[in-house]
Structure 1
Amino acid sequence: MAYNARRSRLLGRGGTYLGVVALAAFVLGPVVWLVTTSLKPRSEVFASPPRLLPSHLTFQNYGDVLTSDTLQFFVNSVIVCLGTTVMCVLLSLLACYTLTRTGSRGRKPILIGVLASQLLPQAVLLVPLYKAADTMGLLNSRFGLMVAYLTFTLPVAIWLLRGFLMAIPFDLEEAARIDGLSEFAAYWRVIVPLSRPGIAAVAIYVFFMAWQDFMYALVFLTDDSKRTLPLGVLSLIGSHTIEWGQLMAVSTLLLIPILLVFSFAQRYFIAGITAGAVKG
């Protein structure tokens, strides 16, 4: 009996490890293929049979795509993503003040409306957003693109931050108000600094969503000098040929900021997500 139980445990553990390895291969396999293809010469991209690792390592594809235009696309992406992140965090903090720290009526309908807004596909919002941006003169501008990104990042940011703020004791604000602070000052100077993990989680989420967007940038930006980096990838896809090596090189460059941001703020992101999921 003991032998059978031990054998069952070993088999179960082995099955678990095998499943983890298979899942890791499924998730990381395309990324590895992306990076290795960017390091292959053009003659090896379509080699038969295909090879994972290049026989002749080359950085020519990166040299071909690292031009002044690509640098401008990168700068545009950074400006848009950072601007969207700052705007979204500030607006969500102000919204959460009303939804968590005041006794105003209608909080539940507002939260339901915020959640319902996420049920609509992003493509459905493109036409009304385009017309609104055209009316307000925000087309073909980085600020207009930031505002458009808020339509699908702000609702999630509000829900995440609300769950985190609800877990912070109200006694802290009451103590700050006894010391002479106003209600909003107590929230801004006491509660907001304690919400740094939640704010970091929201900031990372918003940055990721804005960084990888292609559809909204394609619709709202027409000037080449204002294009973001995902739109720069489009220029490598021609009518008759596709420069796969260069395409993979740009895609690899797109991954680097995401990996850097997540590696530095991973613990804040996980803490904010779990705290927002516990209560709220």
Structure 2
Amino acid sequence: MSGATHSARGFWPVMGQAFLWAFLLAVGVVVLYPLLWMGLGGFKSNSQIFDQPFALPQDWSLENYFSAWRGVQGYMVSSLLVTLVSTVATVLISARAAYGLTRTAMPAKPLITAFVLGGMMLSPTVALVPLVRMLQSLGLYDTHWALIILYTAFRVPFTTFLIRAYMLDLPRDLDEAAMMDGASPGQIYRRIILPLCRPIVVSCVVLHILFAWNEYLFAMIFTNSPGVQTLPVGLTSLMSKQGTDFAQVFAAMTLSALPIVIIFFLTQRYFIRGLTEGMAK
């Protein structure tokens, strides 16, 4: 009797693990299959995409990818510039703000914290009209700086929220020991606090890159020139220029998704660790 009970107790954990793996495999297929189908579509002809959408390519030529690259390389340069500059600016401002809100004494700190984090509740679509007029009056409309400023301004509250949540649980004994050794607040921030926050900083970098690289609304409204427009807008214009040549469109979409996939796989260890520890804290 005890043996049967022991077997029953061992059966359910095995079944639960099997169902978990089956669920994760199904989610993986749902996520990866569209990306694989899109990448393979770049090797097909336009007629094969419509006649045999789920078949393997008949000709594994890279001509569609070369043509797509020639069509989007200018937009990709703009996306790289805007994404890199806005990422650096957002993370530096947010990390410094989080340090001030958690490790320094300032009057009305709860009110300032609520004001900064309240920026997450501001909808970008509500502010479109005044932002257009403001950037036009400043001479920044249809420039890379317009997107850099907007991406930085709208992402600083959320990034500050994540880094602040991580810093709150860091032991203050480190600050006190460093101050006893003669370190200034700036040195404590640069040499102690910031290195300890590396996981959440990497997570914030990846999240901002993902946002800035794929953002479409601001890029469409605040830019007009092809030399300034970013990749999401370029993909739309490429589709209209190429008509029904979806093979080149799929190739261009694959090229646009490839940098994000590479960055995520290179930083996934820090990314997952930073988010899980930051949310837990």
Q: TM-score, normalised by structure 1?
A: 0.90
1:28 equivalent in structure 2: 32
1:124 aligns with 2:126: yes
Deviation at 1:146, TM superposition (A): 0.6
Q: CA deviation at 1:120?
A: 3.7
User: Judging changes above 3 Å, is the alpha-carbon distance between structure 1 residues 170 and 213 closer, same or farther for their aligned structure 2 residues?
Assistant: same
CA distance in 2, matches of 1:13, 1:64: 47
> Following the alignment from structure 1 to structure 2, what is the Cα–Cα distance between the partners of residues 188 and 7?
53
- Post-superposition CA distance 1:29-69 (Å, at most 9, x none): 21111111111112201015x324223322221121121x5
More displaced stretch, 78-87 vs 111-120? 111-120
Relative to structure 1, the CA distance from residue 65 to residue 239 in structure 2 (aligned partners, 3 Å threshold; closer, same or farther) is: closer
Name the structure 2 match of 1:57: 60
Q: Which amino acid aligns with 2:280?
A: V
Where does residue 197 of structure 1 map in the other structure? 199
Q: Partner of 1:224: helix, strand, or coil?
A: coil
Equivalent pairs, count:
277
Amino acid paired to 2:132: Y
Residues 204-225 of structure 1: CA distance to partner in whole angstroms, max 9, x if unpaired? 1111110111111111111111
Query: 1:140: which partner in 2?
Result: 142
How many Å separate the matches in 2 of 1:246 and 1:77? 20
Decide which of 214, 220, 223 is 2:222's aligned counterpart.
220
8 Å contact from structure 2 (residues 118, 157) kept in 1: no
Q: Structure 1: how far apart are the matches of 2:21 and 2:256?
A: 31
Task: Kindly indicate whether the alpha-carbon contact (under 8 Å) linking 2:72 and 2:235 is maintained by their aligned counterparts in 1.
Answer: no
Deviation at 1:261, TM superposition (A): 1.3
| Counterparts of residues 45-84 of structure 1 (less than 5 Å) | 45-48=49-52, 50-67=53-70, 70-84=72-86
CA distance in structure 1 between the partners assigned to 2:95 and 2:23 by the alignment? 41
Larger displacement relative to structure 2 (152-161 or 54-63): 54-63
C-alpha distance in structure 1 between counterparts of 2:14 and 2:181, whole Å: 61
1:250 aligns with 252
| SS of match in other structure, 1:140 | coil
Report deviation, 1:242: 2.9
Q: CA RMSD in A?
A: 2.1
1:239 Cα shift?
8.2
Task: Compute the displacement of 1:85 (Å).
Answer: 0.6
- Deviation string 1:137-157 (CA, Å, 9 cap, x unpaired) is 211111121111123311111
Q: CA deviation at 1:125?
A: 2.7
Residue 159 (structure 2) aligns with: 157
Q: Unmatched 5+ residue regions in structure 2? A: none
Distance 1:170 1:21, change over 3 A: same
- Which residue among 176, 179, 187 is the counterpart of 1:177? 179
Distance across 2 between alignment mates of 1:78 and 1:96: 26
- Does structure 2 retain, via aligned residues, the 8 Å contact 1:41–1:58? no
Secondary structure in 2 aligned to 1:105? Answer: coil
Cα offset, 1:8, TM superposition: 4.6
Q: 1:230 aligns with which of 219, 229, 232?
A: 232
Structural mapping, 1:1-16, within 5 Å: 1-2=4-5, 8-16=12-20
C-alpha spacing 1:255/1:130, structure 2 compared with 1 (3 Å):
same
CA 1:126–1:9: 2 relative to 1, 3 Å: same
CA shift in 2, pair 1:9/1:166, >3 Å: closer
Confirm or deny: 8 A CA contact 2:117 2:160 kept in the other structure: no
Question: Is residue 216–residue 232 contact of structure 2 (8 Å, CA) maintained in 1?
Answer: yes
**Whole-angstrom CA distance in 1 between matches of 2:255 and 2:112:** 40
The CA deviation at 1:10 is 4.9
Task: Tell me how far apart the structure 2 counterparts of residues 198 and 5 of structure 1 sit (CA, whole Å).
Answer: 40
Q: Specify the alignment match of 1:259 in structure 2.
A: 261
Query: 1:177 and 1:5, CA in 2 relative to 1: closer, same or farther beyond 3 A?
Result: closer
Query: How far apart, in 2, do the equivalents of 1:193 and 1:4 lie?
Result: 49
- For 2:242 and 2:181, the matched residues in 1 are separated by 71
- The alpha carbon displacement at 1:5 in A equals 5.2
